[in-house]
Amino acid sequence: MSAPFARVAVLGLGLVGGSLAQLLAQRGVVVVGQDVDATAVTSARAVGLTATTSLAEAVEGADLVVLAVPLRAMRATAAELARCIGTTADATVTDVGSVKGPVRLAVEAAGLGDRFVGAHPMAGTEHSGFAASSAQLMDRAAWAVTVRPDDDGARLAPLLRLLTGPLAGTVAVLTDDVHDEAAALISHVPHVLATQLLNAVAGAPVRDAALGLAAGSFRDGTRVAYTDPARTEAMVTENAAWVAPALRKAVRDLEALVAALETNAPVHGFFRAADDVRAQGRPGERRARGAQAPVPLDAGWPAALVARCASGAVVTGLTETEAVLAR
């Protein structure tokens, strides 16, 4: 089977974009990185990547363009990309953003909607910039890929082959809304709660004593609060439609716990509500996935994948005739 893409352009060489570009290069994929920051470009070249500050130069001849810029720069970058590739090139456009609905709107506003397949690698750290990037961060990562309900799979198939082949990842194929609601619960709300925990200690009269005593639970609970606050703010506000109701539920649950504590009422339900999830083990520590019935690549196969992945299945590979699934 031939390589799914002959040349990949990665626009944005921060933590995720830089890590993706390095892994692609390690796996033999021709990749060109681009960043408006000359320091990031110099650093990328120092580790052997082909990199430039010119978007036009980076995307010339590319058949896959990855938008890896900050969310706040997505609309302007998509518009510049549209001017550079025009109507003749047939490059597929994807991204690595943590919110999918707003990115699709930005790409569609630039006139590139028919080329777009959304993507989000579920990998990252609290650090940022190319200096924090590494190929290992993206190796065997879990990805979410998002499509419209009527997607015909022409651009989805090669992207799945890249992610599950050279990058050795697994992929959940979802709609934008399912992704954004799920991301709110497992990423964006945790960032907010971690930030609030850090804020609470920062403003406490016993701040210094508390920080001196802080150990594992505080370290783990606040890790993502040490992310660049501007990046967290952009992520949360761009996904406000799903983050806000999830936070309201968290507030209601905490207020109920506070009321119970103040009145010496039972609190058993609060601490045991997730027992079934707890029994499955922590993410990354669960049992090995088992094979599932594959999805034939016939008419409507992207919608079939969306239905299967919404219930927990992931794509582990793509043959010429079927999508291989596990759960």
Model confidence pLDDT, tens digit, residues 103-116: 999 999 999 999 99
**Binning pLDDT at 50, 70 and 90, where does residue 126 land?**
confident
Give the count of alpha carbons within 13 A of 27, CB side only. Answer: 27
Model confidence pLDDT, tens digit, residues 260-314: 999 999 999 999 999 999 998 888 665 567 889 999 999 999 999 999 999 999 9
Looking at the chain, the whole-number percentage of residues with pLDDT higher than 90 is: 91
Q: Tell me the average pLDDT of the chain.
A: 95
Look at the block and give the residue holding tokens 């799920």: 182
Return the pLDDT at 46.
98
Q: In the predicted model, is pLDDT for residue 153 greater than 80?
A: yes
Looking at the chain, the whole-number percentage of residues with pLDDT higher than 70 is: 97
CA distance 153 to 297: 9
The helix (run of H) or strand (run of E) holding residue 236 is helix 229-238
Return the pLDDT at 292.
92
Cross-strand pairs, 144: 120, 172
Model confidence pLDDT, tens digit, residues 9-42: 999 999 999 999 999 999 999 999 999 999 999 9
pTM (2 d.p.): 0.93
Angle at which helices 240-263 and 229-238 cross, to 10°:
100
φ, ψ of residue 139 to 5 degrees: the values are -65, 125
Q: Residue type for 115, please?
A: R
**Binning pLDDT at 50, 70 and 90, where does residue 3 land?**
confident
Dihedral over Cα of 72, 51, 57, 112: its sign? negative
What does the pLDDT average to over 227-243?
95
What does the pLDDT average to over 151-156?
96
Q: In the predicted model, is pLDDT for residue 60 greater than 60?
A: yes
Q: In the predicted model, is pLDDT for residue 1 greater than 60?
A: no
What DSSP designation does 100 have? S
- Where are the strands (E) in the chain, listed by range? 8-11, 31-34, 50-52, 64-67, 92-95, 118-121, 142-146, 170-174, 291-296, 314-318, 322-326
Model confidence pLDDT, tens digit, residues 37-46: 999 999 999 9
